[in-house]
Amino acid sequence: MRRAGGVDRARIWAGVEIGKEHHHCVVINSDGERLLSRRVLNDETALLELITDVLALDEDVLWAVDLNHGGAALLIGPLLSHEQPMVYITGLTVHRASASYRGEGKTDAKDAFVIADQARMRRDLGLLRPGDEIAVDLRTLTGRRTDLMCDRTRLVNRLRAQLLEIVPALERELELTSKGPVVLLTGYQTPAAIRRSGAKRMETWLRNRKVRSAAALARTAVEAQHTALPGEKLAAVMVVRLAKGVMAVDEGIAEVDALIEAQFREHRHAEVIVSLPGMGKQLGAVFLAATGGDMDAFDSADRLAGLAGLAPDPRDSGRVSGNLRRPRRFHRGLLNAMYLSALSSLRSCPASKAYFARKRAEGKGHKQVLLALARRRINVLWAVIRDGACYQATPAVTAAA
């Protein structure tokens, strides 16, 4: 196995501008001189040849890429198998840095050089760690779940718009984020059909399909509207199709949820993560997917909080000091997971309840306090995973009599 370099001891730097069909690689030395500049096909054989040629220049090399997924996967895989260190520099960073280099033109070769040169000069770049196998699987599954949830939202919005054309009163009364109203619309759509069925028959129909609160839902539908509107026949057909589409997406979400839970249970940190109140299997899976399941990638809780967007950046100028704002680059899925876990912990965690009450008494806003609570909890989560110990609430100290 060839000896791999590192961020601090690299002697050459290979910057790769990632493309869908082709990449461009530029290799520079410590003086910024180009040792290699090549356009390479995004093909396994071509990429392996590129790696061999770069290592022939010097084995102490640091690779830098401007994309860490998608089209970069076929390059990242062989680099990992060759134990080559990599850093990730965002496309926005490359774009901004390019303005400080000579020439206003933009080419793949220039971008690759900028990527390599930034990797050479900067010492704040952490090594790219794709994560363990389970974390990678969870990244795929949680991404798929997000897509399905977005599909469901779009279908529900279309369903609401269609209902508004023929039964606006029913659209107003039904909560289409729940299963029951969606099931109802697969069988009943128009005021005339609802009246012909009647509340009792509709209630029985809903109960047979395991809908909760069937009686109340049937009564709401019957009382909603009696006037027939133009175009309701065709619109009713579209409502059925949309409602069935929502139910199909719900089945897909349930299947993915089961896969996420099964994969999450297999991870070595699963028990530790769920021991923190408010961190269930779904939110824990998002946490593992975002972090790679390896706390060695974060030398401190502050670094992890920065990834989640919970470590504010200073924005001081002149006489203005103490001005903080959320960083522009952070993992929105991780922030959402930590926010929701903080909200959930208020139901079962005395420490979270006490912190929330204290901050609210100080005049802080609801959202502001939840973000602050999420920041504290990410410190705890980082520590318990680092120590491999489940979270234990600190018992209350009783004052001596």
User: Per the structure block, which two tokens stand in for 256?
Assistant: 């993915």
Tens-of-pLDDT digits for all 401 residues of the chain?
Answer: 334 445 667 899 999 999 999 999 999 999 999 999 999 999 999 999 999 999 999 999 999 999 888 888 899 989 988 889 999 898 888 988 988 888 777 899 999 999 999 999 988 787 777 667 888 899 999 999 999 999 999 999 999 999 988 888 888 888 988 999 999 999 988 888 888 888 899 999 999 999 989 999 999 988 887 777 888 889 999 999 999 999 999 999 999 999 999 999 999 999 999 999 999 999 999 999 998 877 777 888 888 998 888 887 777 677 767 666 777 778 899 999 999 999 999 998 999 999 999 999 999 999 999 999 999 999 999 999 988 899 987 654 444 43
How far is residue 351's CA from residue 373's CA, in Å, rounded to a whole number?
10
Q: What is the pLDDT of residue 130?
A: 67
How far is the C-alpha of 382 from the C-alpha of 300, rounded, in Å? 8
Q: Residue 170 burial by CB count (10 A; 0-12/13-18/19+): exposed, middle or buried?
A: buried
Report helix, strand or coil for 90: coil
What confidence score (pLDDT) does residue 399 get?
42
The predicted pLDDT at position 345 comes to 94
Cα separation, 251 vs 239, in Å, equals 19
Q: What is the pLDDT of residue 151?
A: 96
pLDDT for 128 = 78
In Å, what is the CA distance from 358 to each residue of 28, 131, 355, 370, 374?
A: 55, 38, 5, 12, 15
| Alpha helix positions (H), 167-269 | 168-173, 179-187, 191-208, 214-224, 232-266
